[in-house]
Amino acid sequence: MVLADMGADVVKVEDPKLGDYLRALPPGKGGMSGRFLAVNRGKRSIALDLKDSAARATFLELVTKADVVVESFRPGVMAKLGLDYDTLAANNPKIIVCSISGFGQTGPYADRAGHDLGYIALAGVLAMTGGVAGGAPAMPGVQIADLAGGALWVRRRSSARSSAVSARARARTSTSR
């Protein structure tokens, strides 16, 4: 979302069987969730089963034109799919790979799947969401941990990131004249 807001051409790769479950969560209109639209604005998407060799070839073709691949699998999944850094770099030597996992690349929870509801439950925030007294907590209207974590990362990296983005923008502007 932030990269698209900054002008990047973001292509989101989705599972062809399930896609992004957020599309179906209410409230929505015409089969499209407001939540989905809010966090995916400015992105294009493609459905690829990365376990399929033809789909992997399509993904690798996308990599040849990309500056950055951001992946959010558990540690080791990209390697199991045959899409580790060395494979991506063989297709695009300038590629930058950013691996984001729910609980980091190492440590006791590294192999656990990470989801926003799980993070806010572990932090105790889910219990404060105003569900029915004595009942289950209510699901928040936004992805609290994902957005807050992203905001903290952007804040922490903003000066270096802004400089890098500005330098790239200046370089593209100067070469396009």
pLDDT tens, residue by residue, 22-75: 888 888 888 888 888 888 899 999 999 999 999 999 999 999 999 999 998 999
Q: Considering the entire predicted model, what is its pTM? A: 0.74
How many domains is the chain built from?
Answer: 1
In a domain, 127, yes or no: yes
In a domain, 7, yes or no: no
Per-residue pLDDT at 94: 96
- The parent domain of residue 131 ranges over 115-177
In a domain, 104, yes or no: no
Per-residue pLDDT at 156: 54
In a domain, 138, yes or no: yes
With 50 as the cut, is the pLDDT of residue 173 above it?
no
In a domain, 157, yes or no: yes
Residue 110: which residues within 8 A CB-CB, separation 6 or more? 74, 75, 101, 103, 104
In a domain, 29, yes or no: no
User: How many Å is the maximal CA-CA distance in the chain?
Assistant: 65
Distance, CA of 144 to CA of 39 (rounded, Å): 12
Are the CB atoms for 63 and 91 separated by under 8 Å?
yes
Cite the active site residues: 146
- Give 67's DSSP letter: S
In a domain, 151, yes or no: yes
In a domain, 125, yes or no: yes
